[in-house]
Amino acid sequence: MGLPLFSAHSDPGPSFWHFADTSGLTSAPNATPSDFAHATTVIAVRYQGGVVMVADRQATGNFIASRDVRKIEPADKFTALAIAGSAARAIELLKITQLSFEHYEKMTGSTLSLEGKANYLSPIIQRNNLSSPLIVVPLLAGWDESNLIGRIFEYDGAGGCYERFDFATIGSGSPFAEGTLRLGFRSDLDREAALELGALALYEAGDNDPSTGGPDFVRNIFPMMVTLNEAGFQELSGDEVGERFRVINERRTQSGGVAGGALR
């Protein structure tokens, strides 16, 4: 590719997606529905001072394709993007998103607002999902530097973007995670309580949804846990996450395998 110069009226501006589109870097989706979509559970919970995100690590097709997939990635320092749906499309969306936020920053010398980042994804998801059987549904959460709060944005299949003020879930394990979150959520959660609730909700999803991987004590592979706050995107260490799930597991054994009492 030569030097991409544009005249003032055809300039794609600071949007990498628009530039990639005009220069043919991204192609319109054209695939068959037989490509596998990975089933998932990703959870985002808002707390006082930020957002906690938890995701399982399993990629499922007709069989378990991978046990250590990362479904949450930093989109930039203060934003995380989680993905559910077709792995190929989701990874491309992630790549485009990360690049776009950085591209905007370099082109304009300023960072996008969190709401700007959330809205930016809408047309990209819309075009993918309305023209391809390979559906991708992301979840965006971040620390809003102008308002100093954590915020969560979820999307529907057609690209509609909705802000959630409590919690949000995506993936096939959503109903089970959602049930736990509905019972356990309070608006005054602190970081620790949000991490505990998020882990429990993921545990429930892993327990009931065949396509969601719970904690894997055999291989020491545990769900991803991430916090977004004024310090930016931070991932909890494998050991710390493992410890949290060990505690939940122990409690569950003591209660004879039933969930009752877990949400004390």
Partner 1 sequence: MSNYFYVAPEQLIKDRAEFAQKGIARGRSLVAAIYDKGVILVAENPSASLNKVSEIYDRIAFAGAGKYNEFDRLREAGIRWADSTGFTYSREDVDGRALANYYAQHLGDMFTEGQKPLEVEILVAQLGNKLRPTKLYRVAYEGTISDEPRFAVLGGDSETIKTRFALSEESVQPLNVTLRNALNALAGPERTIPAVELEVGILEDRGHRRTFSRLSDDQVSELLG
Query: Among residues 9, 10, 109, 256, which is the contact residue for partner 1, using CB under 8 A?
Result: 109
In contact, 4 and 23? CB cutoff 8 Å: yes
Query: Among residues 65, 107, 148, 183, which is the contact residue for partner 1, using CB under 8 A?
Result: 107
* Span of 13-21, 53-61, 116-124, 158-166 interacting with partner 1 by CB under 8 A: 13-21
Q: What's the token pair of residue 204?
A: 């429930």
Q: What's the token pair of residue 242?
A: 């493992």
Q: Name the residue with tokens 């602190």.
A: 190
Q: Please, what is the minimum distance in Å from the beta carbon of residue 97 to partner 1?
A: 12
In whole angstroms, give the CA distance from residue 76 to residue 81. Answer: 9
In whole angstroms, give the CA distance from residue 44 to residue 225. Answer: 10
Q: Please, what is the minimum distance in Å from the beta carbon of residue 59 to partner 1?
A: 23
Q: Please, what is the minimum distance in Å from the beta carbon of residue 11 to partner 1?
A: 8
When asked if residue 28 is in the footprint of partner 1 (CB under 8 A), the reply is: no
Tell me which residues are annotated as active site.
Answer: 40
**x/- map, 47-86, partner 1, by CB under 8 A:** ----------------------------------------
Query: Among residues 75, 99, 218, 226, which is the contact residue for partner 1, using CB under 8 A?
Result: 99
When asked if residue 2 is in the footprint of partner 1 (CB under 8 A), the reply is: yes
SS3 7: coil
When asked if residue 95 is in the footprint of partner 1 (CB under 8 A), the reply is: yes
In whole angstroms, give the CA distance from residue 132 to residue 141. Answer: 25
Q: How many residues bind partner 1 (CB under 8 A)?
A: 17
When asked if residue 88 is in the footprint of partner 1 (CB under 8 A), the reply is: no
Query: Among residues 106, 188, 258, 264, which is the contact residue for partner 1, using CB under 8 A?
Result: 106
Nearer to partner 1, 60 or 97 (CB): 97
When asked if residue 103 is in the footprint of partner 1 (CB under 8 A), the reply is: yes
In contact, 261 and 178? CB cutoff 8 Å: no
Q: Which of 259, 238, 240 is nearest to 249 (CA)?
A: 259
Return all residues near 246 (Cβ < 8 A) that are at least 6 apart.
Answer: 215, 217
- Left if phi > 0, otherwise alpha if psi is -120 to 50, otherwise beta: which for 215? beta
β-sheet bridge partners, residue 155: 161
**Chain residues that interact with partner 1, rule: CB under 8 A:** 1-5, 16, 19-20, 23, 25, 95, 99, 102-103, 106-107, 109
